[in-house]
Chains A and B, each alone.
Chain A
Amino acid sequence: MIIGRWIQAIDQWVNRFRNKVTFHGGVHPAQHKLISTHQPIQTPPLADKLIISLTQHVGPASIPLVEIGQYVEGGELIARCAPPLGVPLHAPTSGTIIDIGDYPTSHPSGLAGPCIVLAPDGLKKNKAFQPKDRPSSVQSLKAILLHSGIIGMGGAGFPSFRKIANKAGQIHTLIVNAAECEPYITCDDLLMRERPHEIIEGALITAHALGASRVLIGIEDNKPEAADSLRQYQPKAESNANIHVEVCVVPTIYPMGSANQLITQLTHQEVPADAHSTDLGLVMFNVATLAAIYRAVIIGKPVMSRIVTITGFAIERPCNVEIPIGTPFEHLVNWAGLHSPHAPWLMGGPMMGTPIHHPQTPVIKTSNCLLVNKPEPTTETLPCIRCGACMDACPVNLLPQQLYWHAKAEELDKLEALHLKDCIECGCCAYVCPSHIPLVQYYRHAKVAVKKDKADKAAQQRAKQRHEAQIARKEQEAREKSERLAAKRAAMMAAENDKQESIQAPKELS
């Protein structure tokens, strides 16, 4: 086991020098991908209820359009998007809406969020999908992305329609994120092996609409089967032949699948801190997102299901499953079998995954993996020895140790000066830390502290303005009142004088 690990590590280093990594840092955690790639994508039975979270994406919660007791068919619109960042939601299967309310969601806090609960009738009756024409303009592609509820399915959850530039021709290269760098996760790998047509056709549809001339598929060298599967697929004749598709095998290193790192690796360009990849003429989509785009255009089917990896050494039959959105994780674990009941559940991989607090937590559009490993012995945090290993590992070229000191002391202005907001929370620094300091947790805490501080300052400023406006208004009211009084008094005096005069006048006459 240990020798195998060493061989793997040496192999990775050799690869690294042969096919050079062009970004700084990165780590080589043990892969453990093989445990879930033995079986094809499975379809477990339907759960008895689906909990569809209204906050699956980045942005405000979607607004429910259904009522309790209503019968819906699969693919029917059940919640509309809340502008400006939302996406609509569709029924994952046919059934009856049994509740709309707060349920545990996969938010890292474990706090309940708004959800629609659907009791499937088991008939899997879908509404009639209308295939759409291949979009020829950016606007028509955006409309399809929005109405099909497509968000970044690699884990970001950013609504895809907001990711692309408005003008045609602004994007010259579509980058397909097929790196899947995080250990244990294999859902993209299996998707590429089994459905290369969905990915390539989806990429060609997207590239054609954007006016891009090049599609680069970045795939790590630990997935040779998937790379072969993509290479062997011959695009259909009606797909645009002017688009050059290239499968680029990149070295296996974590976090290769992070957007900016993969861009640096493939194009040797670094996305500036205050810019987006679209400013460089690039746009990146995950393979699962492209497959969703393919289905939205060719079949007319919105996002109703996704592929999830159920894996970990505490799972009896680890594999990949395609399941409707909203399936509770407990249902999946019961289906796949569990060795140790006390093992903690993680949504996502071991590096960036967040704990699942409640077994009924549902799968959302961005849930790529359920990881259940036996609990590891806890390691005590030791004081920082200032070794600098975190700095060497940071793929974003930040100074994790400096950030740690300032985050600990809550020196928010210094954290901003050290670009805390550019931290991608990949966990490389904490992975290499010999003192087992939970660095990422410090950064996550500090990021919210910075955000709250800014919000507080803005609220203070507003309160000050409102108070000053009120004082000015009250002063003006008082001034106007005294002016009115003075005018009234003057008028009364004048009237009095007139009276006096009129009384005196007859006397003079007589």
Chain B
Amino acid sequence: MTAIFLFTLLALAFGALLAWASHRFRIEGNPLVDKIDALLPQTQCGQCGYPGCKPYANAVAIGEADINQCIPGGEVTVIALSELTGREIKPLAAEAKPKQLAFIKEEDCIGCVKCIAACPVDAILGAAKFTHTVITHECTGCELCIPVCPTDCIIMENIPITQQNWQWDKPKGAIGEKT
């Protein structure tokens, strides 16, 4: 009888403690979303079918989206997401291509500000009826400005290799070794 009483009391005490703790140390939002968001390339391109990286992270966290939909992230992101969520590695939903940057052909630009409204990271500078230009180091290469341009004056260009960003070739492996 004493034992039952004692354990009931203990159970109530711990229950109260847990209830208080869950109230006191509550975390706003889903912590998994932020972890997933940190692994995404932040291009905000919408190629995954969601309006940005955070919404896609949210969709992955609640199990609505698959882990292979981030095209700019490539295979590396799929592997990282698989490690985080414990889901199986899948091939990328579409073929990945190297990062490119938007370039405005200024002679064709009519200053319509449509691309400025479309750019998710405010990387296009300009005003109505004035020529626009891309702030190269802020451009994420999301291509969202391409379809909205009425004169098709925005093109995607490869990032040129200069002395500053050039990288030594990775040596070929030893003979008979798998690369």
* Chain A interface residues toward B at CB < 8 A: 55, 105, 107-109, 111, 113, 380-384, 408, 435, 437-438, 441-442, 444-445, 448-449, 452, 459-464, 466-467, 469-470
Contact = CB atoms under 8 A, between A and B. Distances in A.
B140 A463 contact: yes
B161 A111 contact: yes
Contacts of A469: 122
A467 B174 contact: no
Contacts of A384: 174
A445 B175 contact: no
Given A111-B163, A448-B167, A463 B44 contact: yes
Interface residues of B, number: 30
B163 A107 contact: yes
B174 A460 contact: no
A449 B120 CA distance: 27
B167 A452 contact: yes
A14 B167 CA distance: 42
A408 B163 contact: no
B42 A442 contact: no
Interface string B141-179: 000000000000000000001110111111111111100
B53 interface: yes
B174 A381 contact: yes
B48 to A, nearest CB: 15
Given A109-B166, A438-B171, 15 more contacts: A108-B168, A111-B163, A380-B174, A380-B175, A381-B174, A459-B137, A459-B140, A460-B42, A461-B42, A463-B42, A463-B121, A464-B42, A467-B52, A467-B121, A470-B121
16 contacts: A107-B163, A111-B163, A408-B173, A435-B174, A441-B168, A445-B168, A445-B171, A449-B167, A460-B41, A460-B42, A463-B121, A463-B140, A464-B42, A467-B53, A469-B122, A470-B122
Contacts of B121: 463, 466-467, 470
B169 to A, nearest CB: 7
B80 to A, nearest CB: 12
Interface in B74-99: none
B178 to A, nearest CB: 11
B170 A445 contact: yes
B43 interface: yes
A463 B168 contact: no
Contact of B163 (A109, A381, A464, A467): A109
B106 interface: no
B108 interface: no
B167 A441 contact: no
Contacts of B37: 464
Greatest chain A CB density within 10 A among B123, B170, B177 is at: B170
Contact of B172 (A105, A109, A381): A381
Contacts of B123: 466
Contact of A442 (B52, B163, B171): B171
Interface in B19-76: 37, 41-44, 52-53
Contacts of B138: 462-463, 466
Of the listed residues A444, A452, A459, A461, the one surrounded by the most CB atoms of chain B closer than 10 A to its CB is A459
Contacts of B41: 460
B91 to A, nearest CB: 20
A504 B110 CA distance: 56
Contact of A464 (B53, B168, B169, B173): B53
B166 A111 contact: yes
By Cβ-Cβ distance, the 5 closest A-B pairs, closest first, are A448-B167, A444-B168, A109-B166, A460-B42, A466-B121
A379 B160 CA distance: 34
A274 B172 CA distance: 33
A466 B120 CA distance: 8
B170 A442 contact: yes
A452 B42 contact: no
A384 B173 CA distance: 10
A383 B177 contact: yes
Contacts of B175: 380-382
Contact of A445 (B52, B165, B169): B169
Contacts of B120: 467, 470
Nearest to A463: B42
B141 to A, nearest CB: 10
Contacts of B163: 55, 105, 107, 109, 111, 113
A449 B167 CA distance: 8
Contacts of B177: 383
A441 B171 contact: yes
Given A382-B175, A383-B174, A466 B166 contact: no
A213 B53 CA distance: 60
B39 to A, nearest CB: 10
Contact of A383 (B161, B169, B176): B176
A381 B167 contact: no
A40 B162 CA distance: 39
B96 to A, nearest CB: 15
Contact of B171 (A108, A381, A449, A463): A381
Contacts of B137: 459
Contacts of B162: 111
B137 to A, nearest CB: 8
A448 B168 contact: yes
Nearest to A443: B168
Nearest to B161: A111
Contact of B122 (A55, A438, A466): A466
Nearest to B123: A466
Contacts of A460: 41-42
Contacts of A448: 166-168
A466 B122 CA distance: 7
Contacts of B42: 460-461, 463-464, 467
A504 B43 CA distance: 62
Contacts of B167: 445, 448-449, 452
Contacts of B43: 463
Contacts of A444: 168
A214 B11 CA distance: 77
